[in-house]
Amino acid sequence: MSVKTIAGVELKVSVDGYLEDMTQWNEEIAKEIATELGIELTPKHFEVLNYLRVKTIAKENLTIRGVGKSGIVDIKELYVLFPKGPLKFSSKIAGIPKPTSCI
C-alpha cells in the first residue's frame, strides 16, 4: 500500500494503483486516473463507473458478463470504452478494488 496524490487529494492506493477507500473517490479523481490509462471519460463512461460502484457497495461480484447484461453497455461497447482492460481499467477508474477472478 502506498499514498498517491491524485487530483490534489492524498489517497491510499494498493500496489497495483487501486484506491483502498472507495469513499474518497470523486469525478476529478476518475478523470485523472483515466488520463494516466490513456482514456478520456465521456458521460457513457460515467454511467458504467457508477454502475460498478453501486454493485460494489451492494457486495455483488463483478464480471464482464454482468456488465454486459446491465442494460448500460454490451460487452463489445465496454471494450470500446475501456480498451485492453474492460473490467480492470474501469474498476481502477471507478475507485473500487481490483476485480478478483474466482478460482
Partner 1 sequence: MKKLLILGAGTAGTMMANHLRPKLYLNEWDITIVDQYKTHYYQPGFLFLPFDTYTENQVKKNGKKFMPKGVNYIQKKIEQIFPEENKVELEGETLHYDVLIIATGSKIAPEETTGLLGPLWKKDIFDFYTFEGALALRNKLRDWQGGKLVVHITEMPIKCPVAPLEFSFLADSYFRKKGMRDKVDITYVTPLSGAFTKPTCTTALNYLLKEKDIKIEIDFAIESVDNDKKVIVDYAEREIPFDLLVTIPTNMGDEVIGKSGLGDDLNFIPTDHNTLQSKDHENIFVIGDATNVPASKAGSVAHFQAETLTDNILLYIGGYPLKKEFDGHANCFIETGNNKALLIDFNYVTEPVHGNFPFAKIGPLKLLKESVFNHWGKLAFRWIYWNMLLKGIAIPFVSRNMSFKGKVFDIKPDTK
Active site residues: 102
State which of residues 31, 39, 86, 91 lies at the interface with partner 1 (CB under 8 A). Answer: 86
| The three three-digit cell numbers of residue 45, written as one number | 463512461
- Say which DSSP state 76 is in: H
Report how many residues bind partner 1 under the rule CB under 8 A: 21
**For partner 1, which is the closer residue by CB, 23 or 65?**
65
The answer to the question of residue 64 lying near partner 1 (CB under 8 A) is yes
The answer to the question of residue 76 lying near partner 1 (CB under 8 A) is yes
The answer to the question of residue 97 lying near partner 1 (CB under 8 A) is no
Amino acid at 12: K
Q: How far is CA 29 from CA 14, 15, 38, 39, in A?
A: 15, 18, 14, 13
Residue of 64, 65, 59 whose CA lies nearest to 89: 64
**For partner 1, which is the closer residue by CB, 22 or 85?**
85
